[in-house]
């Protein structure tokens, strides 16, 4: 149930708009400024299109396109003019927004940064992509963990950026911190279509959370992004699905109160709880250990695959990038 695409908002609902933004070509500061205004106009369009809308979500690479350019001229700062424009448009339209920038980093490669701004124009979540899509992306790996924030109408929001969503651990961490809506922003192209769909669904079901995901859309003359915004219910069933039309806004309503109810009242498949309470039928309270070798090895800095020495791609050379700047 999505309230006819969010047109009918319930008392406890959160209406989300997913913007399948046309894939831009951004090469100069003037291009960046023009694309910033395009994004702001799409915020205004979303508010006109669905008056009850609470949160509008833009794809990864919404300003910069898919060139992977690290030109300082088109990098952004969190306190720069582009982000100020997003704050202003959220405030003016009484709407929350999720935005993407490539953030200048004086100490290394830029960060791939996601921001959630509330309807008062305040940044509520500032996240740097934890898992850049190697070997394709040159961005510095995130260094701020996986934050969550309070969202509209009593919701709690988490953000996974593109490739982050392919790691079950990322969505599990966001849900563990209380997120009942997990946003996923992406620049993916068509070859990832199947993986996109099944991970958006599994991330929802495995964590009893809504997932709301959107990719860039259309072509820049080289890359063809797929759009395909989708909202998935916490039981893993898609509620709303988009097409491949650039600049289409996919809308739907989610109910965080029903997520909270499921997390407390479900017995069968309440996996978030059961992960840390193994076998509570046989053992009082269940076993609360960490039986997984990979978790222990990661914690100890000893993560090593049985086929580690045979892995072919260990830097960005296959995609034309130089050796890493850092050890």
Residue 96 near residue 54, CB atoms below 8 Å:
yes
User: Which is catalytic among the residues 76, 87, 90, 129?
Assistant: 129
| Helices 29-49, 81-93: crossing angle, 10 deg rounding | 10
Per the annotation, the verdict on 60 as an active-site residue is yes
How far is CA 176 from each of CA 61, 151, 170, 320, rounded to the nearest angstrom? 27, 16, 10, 38
Per the annotation, the verdict on 129 as an active-site residue is yes
How far is CA 121 from each of CA 60, 89, 134, 148, rounded to the nearest angstrom? 20, 8, 33, 17
The tokens describing 58, both together, are 């833009």
Cβ neighbours around 98 below 10 Å, total: 28
Give the whole-angstrom CA distance, residue 183 versus residue 199.
13
Neighbouring residues of 304: CB distance < 8 A, sequence distance ≥ 6:
297
Q: What does the CA dihedral 125, 167, 217, 223 come to, rounded to 10 degrees?
A: 120
Give the whole-angstrom CA distance, residue 190 versus residue 3.
29
Per the annotation, the verdict on 149 as an active-site residue is no
User: Which is catalytic among the residues 40, 47, 60, 253?
Assistant: 60
Cβ neighbours around 146 below 10 Å, total: 20
How far is CA 188 from each of CA 162, 229, 291, rounded to the nearest angstrom? 7, 11, 34
User: Which is catalytic among the residues 162, 173, 217, 228?
Assistant: 162
Active-site residue list: 60, 129, 162
């Amino acid at each position: 149930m999505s309230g006819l695409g969010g047109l009918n908002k319930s008392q406890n609902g959160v209406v989300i708009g997913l913007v399948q933004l046309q894939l831009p070509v951004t090469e100069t500061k003037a291009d960046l400024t023009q694309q910033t205004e395009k994004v702001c106009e799409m915020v205004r369009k979303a508010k006109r299109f669905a008056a009850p809308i609470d949160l509008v979500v833009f794809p990864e690479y919404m300003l910069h396109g898919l060139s992977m350019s690290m030109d300082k001229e088109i990098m952004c700062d969190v306190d720069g003019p582009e982000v100020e424009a997003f704050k202003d448009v959220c405030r003016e339209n009484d709407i929350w927004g999720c935005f993407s920038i490539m953030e200048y980093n004086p100490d290394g490669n830029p960060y791939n940064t996601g921001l959630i701004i509330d309807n008062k124009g305040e940044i509520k979540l500032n996240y740097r992509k934890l898992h850049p899509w190697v070997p394709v992306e040159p961005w510095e790996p995130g260094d701020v963990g996986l934050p969550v924030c309070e969202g509209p109408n009593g919701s709690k929001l988490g953000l996974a950026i593109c490739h982050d969503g392919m790691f079950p651990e990322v969505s599990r961490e966001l849900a563990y911190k209380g997120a009942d809506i997990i946003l996923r922003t992406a620049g993916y192209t068509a070859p990832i279509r199947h993986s996109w769909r099944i991970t958006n669904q599994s991330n929802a079901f495995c964590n009893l959370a809504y997932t709301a995901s959107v990719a860039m859309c259309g072509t820049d003359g080289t890359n063809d992004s797929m759009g395909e915004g989708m909202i998935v219910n916490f039981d893993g069933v898609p509620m709303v699905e988009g097409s491949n039309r650039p600049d289409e806004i996919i809308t739907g309503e989610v109910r965080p109160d029903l997520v909270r109810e499921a997390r407390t009242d479900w017995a069968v498949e309440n996996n978030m709880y059961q992960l840390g309470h193994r076998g509570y039928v046989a053992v009082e309270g269940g076993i609360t250990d960490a039986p997984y070798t990979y978790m222990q090895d990661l914690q100890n800095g000893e993560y090593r695959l049985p086929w580690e020495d045979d892995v072919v791609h260990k830097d960005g050379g296959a995609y034309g990038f130089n050796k890493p700047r850092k050890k």
